[in-house]
Amino acid sequence: MNTGMNFELNAPASIAEVVEQLANKTGARVFSGGTDLVPNLRRRIGTPPVLVSTDGVAEMKSVDLQGDHLVIGAAMPLAQLLESDKLAGFPALLQAIAEVAGPGLREAATIGGNLCQDTRCLFYNQSHWWRKSNGFCLKLDGDTCHVAPNGEHCFAAYCGDVAPALLVLGAEVRIAAQGKDRWVSLNSIYEDDGRSHLLLKPGELLVSIRIPLKAAQWRSGYLKSRLRKSVDFPLAGVAVALRLDNRGISHLRIAVTGTNSRPLLFEDFSVVPLSITDDLALSAIDREIGQSIKPMRTTNLPGLYRRKMVAVLGRRLIEGLTAPTGKNGV
């Protein structure tokens, strides 16, 4: 069958070779599991002449304890991470990975690919002829946003499940490029723009993710709203990590996905430390998050419903994690 795709696919065996190809081959893009990229390329969302696969890089397909961190290679398939006992201290991460797509997709999809997946919108994730008949859109090939026609901002939503879990666990990511190699906070690689939500520059590669081992002292969990129990992207997803002391919640982090063009992390709440998790305190937390999230009509349920679901899921998690049995998540 003619899929309309045409590119060169290379699978080098080292990080150095991957970044060398990304730097020197015009228009080259990183290819990881391909579960987000391949359906998009078939819809002519992008026509990269070269794809550079990370599947052959052994260093990017391991999970190791290194000093005070757990280091996860970006090319690790999600299904294999679920089978790793090294993630046991991070319930939010395991719960988020288990919620990604369905079992067949998780075998191919990688953790790095999940963090870097494209933003999504009803008017974008469509075939070329569908988008053409609609005059294309602000995100690609067009000049009007069909979600907010009077604006000049693209509201396509970031819908990765794993990023919010890693954000509340304080994860960092290793970014490599030719002659450069650095660790940065995961929170710093995103911006709230549906057209270019990733701040990685051309030629940069997300190599690995590290989680501080002390994050295992936090109680954490992830919950997701979706129409079907499998396959679907989140309509809204919430990760919570918190620490308790003898007075109540001493530290609280909440991250939200599916509502904006980036995953959002909240960690400075005016009501925390919190002695009693009563309705008043939870409403204050809802309000603080509600001021920042902006779910638009980018998916099959309205923004208002998804806004409410963020509050519902956040409360469910906080109540579950503060219950006596909450240590292992909810």
Partner 1 sequence: MASIINLKVNGKTQEHLIPDAMLLVDFLRDRLGLTGTKQGCDGGECGACTVLVDGRQRLSCVTLAKSVAGKTVETIESIETKGRLSRLQAAFHEKLGTQCGFCTPGMIMAAESLLRKNPAPERDEIKEALSGNLCRCTGYVKIIESVEAAILTGEQA
User: What is the DSSP secondary structure assignment for residue 146, as one 8-state letter?
Assistant: S
Contact set for partner 1, span 250-309 (CB under 8 A): none
Closest separation in Å from C-beta 294 to partner 1: 27
Which of 195, 188, 193 has its CA nearest to residue 167?
188
Q: Which of 23, 44, 105, 290 binds partner 1 (CB under 8 A)?
A: 105
Q: Which of 21, 35, 225, 261 binds partner 1 (CB under 8 A)?
A: 35
- 1 lies in the binding site for partner 1 (CB under 8 A): yes
Closest separation in Å from C-beta 8 to partner 1: 4
Q: Which residues contact 176 (CB under 8 A, 6 or more apart)?
A: 15, 19, 204, 205, 207
Angle at CA of residue 12, ends 7 and 18, nearest 5°: 85
Q: Which of 101, 186, 207, 238 binds partner 1 (CB under 8 A)?
A: 101
Q: Which of 11, 148, 200, 271 binds partner 1 (CB under 8 A)?
A: 11
234 within 8 A of 313, measured Cβ to Cβ: no
Angle at CA of residue 245, ends 243 and 250, nearest 5°: 50
- 132 lies in the binding site for partner 1 (CB under 8 A): no
Closest separation in Å from C-beta 37 to partner 1: 9
- 227 lies in the binding site for partner 1 (CB under 8 A): no
- 108 lies in the binding site for partner 1 (CB under 8 A): yes
User: What is the DSSP secondary structure assignment for residue 232, as one 8-state letter?
Assistant: P
Helix (H, G, I), strand (E, B) or coil at 236: strand
- 9 lies in the binding site for partner 1 (CB under 8 A): yes
> Which strand (E) or helix (H) includes residue 207?
strand 205-212
Distance from C-alpha of 297 to C-alpha of 304, rounded to nearest angstrom: 9
- 129 lies in the binding site for partner 1 (CB under 8 A): no
Closer CB to partner 1, 103 or 302, in the complex: 103
- 79 lies in the binding site for partner 1 (CB under 8 A): yes
- 82 lies in the binding site for partner 1 (CB under 8 A): no
- 107 lies in the binding site for partner 1 (CB under 8 A): yes
Closer CB to partner 1, 31 or 266, in the complex: 31
Closer CB to partner 1, 55 or 192, in the complex: 55
Which of 57, 32, 200 has its CA nearest to residue 113?
32
52 within 8 A of 31, measured Cβ to Cβ: yes
Distance from C-alpha of 121 to C-alpha of 58, rounded to nearest angstrom: 34
Closest separation in Å from C-beta 204 to partner 1: 22
Distance from C-alpha of 223 to C-alpha of 234, rounded to nearest angstrom: 9
Contact window for partner 1 (CB under 8 A) among 16-24, 103-111, 202-210, 270-278: 103-111
32 within 8 A of 75, measured Cβ to Cβ: yes
Q: Which residues contact 318 (CB under 8 A, 6 or more apart)?
A: 240, 242, 249, 252, 277, 282, 285
Q: Which bin fits 4, alpha (ψ -120 to 50), beta or left (φ > 0)?
A: left
Contact set for partner 1, span 54-73 (CB under 8 A): 55
- 103 lies in the binding site for partner 1 (CB under 8 A): yes
- 48 lies in the binding site for partner 1 (CB under 8 A): no
Q: Which of 179, 229, 246, 280 binds partner 1 (CB under 8 A)?
A: 229
Contact window for partner 1 (CB under 8 A) among 104-112, 136-144, 166-174, 278-286: 104-112
- 7 lies in the binding site for partner 1 (CB under 8 A): yes
- Residues in contact with partner 1 by the rule CB under 8 A: 1, 3, 5-9, 11, 31, 34-35, 38-39, 42, 51, 53, 55, 79, 101-105, 107-108, 229-231
